[in-house]
Amino acid sequence: MSQTTYFTRYQSPIGELILAGDADRLSELLLPEHHGTPAAASPEWIASAEPFVEAVRQLDAYFAGELTDFDLPLDPRGTPFQMRVWRALEEIPYGVTKSYGEIAAHIGQPTAMRAVGLANGRNPLAIVIPCHRVIGAGGSLTGYGGGLDRKRWLLDLEARVLAVRTPAGVRA
């Protein structure tokens, strides 16, 4: 017997997001471009906001600049390599960016930059697992499933929040 998947739609400053998961854990946070993926179109999914009350509260706080670390029960599904990359993404501090090479080195596979990029692109929990904080080696904004404009918006939000929270003359 398969587990019931619930979903709800969330209106964010970067567009409508779809949250999906079981009654206890969030397994997907889909950006607008991902709404057409097969899972999101699944007729077995049940619309219900109830399982996502805390996720919505935390997303509201994040977008308001009041929350810098999500604390949600998550259930991302991927290969063992993808899971290692996603755990590494969760360790990137709010407002900080890392390159694909830095993530590859962090997980002990310094030559796996492309594989890290692919795993980053398959992150099922955008924003909550902060794949938007991964940039190109030269600091360039590269690939983001939600579009580079959304990536820039999220990075700018975090920079603005840190600028307000960090006393003048003190580097975070």
Residues annotated as part of the active site: 131
- How many angstroms separate the CA atoms of 105 and 126, rounded? 22
Pair of tokens at residue 75: 């259930």
Other residues' Cβ atoms within 10 Å of the Cβ of residue 12: 17
Determine phi and psi for 153, rounding to 5 degrees. -60, -45
Cβ burial of 116 (10 Å; 0-12, 13-18, 19+) is: buried
The length of the chain in residues reads 172
Pair of tokens at residue 123: 């992150």
